[in-house]
Amino acid sequence: ALQTYQTDPAMRKMLTQLYFYIMPVFNVDGYHFSWTNDRFWRKTRSKNTRFRCHGVDANRNWKVKWCDEGASFHPCDDTYCGPFPESEPEVKAVAHFLRKHRKQIKAYLSFHAYAQMLLYPYSYKYATIPNFSCVELAAYNAVNALHSAYGIRYRYGPASSTLYVSSGSSMDWAYKNGIPYAFAFELRDTGHFGFLLPETLIKPTCTETMLAVKNITLHLLKKCH
């Protein structure tokens, strides 16, 4: 984005008219553990006093239909929702930030791995969001922009019907708290096995995803809500 600011009018428009808040890694401890111990680790690394299991699924820990369908009360399960909503410091910190700025924030994008999907609410139920036509059009254009880079096809649609039903997700929380555009990217897997990947493996996913993000952002500037 910064490298093309001078040469790309669309990028210049985006960066001039909008603020971007970027969190490179949400689940820092869990991400580190995925490189050192378990590649498919998805939870945080918080300790449980009653069980020997570690962590909470941070995307089941938000206060929106918390620990309903698609989440587990058992601390050893991958989809453990935690002892209470926002029990994890990672979730609590981001929720606090979003609550503080929610009147100004128009879009919330989260990035996960992996499935090659672009999802939007709802996750916790089979229902159509009020601004469905706007969000659906933004998703459609975004996956087409992504496809234009390397020919990778992403599925898109409501998370509940496109992937599975899950409760307590950050995307649903953001939407229910007044952020009209809430998306979750399930990125295609570049893989990691305890060593740094060559740039040639990581760059394609970054390039194509940036095209999708750029497309969503430009759609947002059209004030379609």
Please compute Rg for the chain using Cα positions: 18
Catalytic positions, written as ranges: 186
Strand partners, 156: 118
DSSP 8-class letter at 189:
P
CA-CA distance, 62 to 95, in Å (whole number)?
A: 8
**Closest C-alpha among 171, 150, 160 to residue 61:** 171
The sheet with strand 107-113 has its strands ordered as 107-113, 181-187, 117-120, 155-158
Strand partners, 91: none
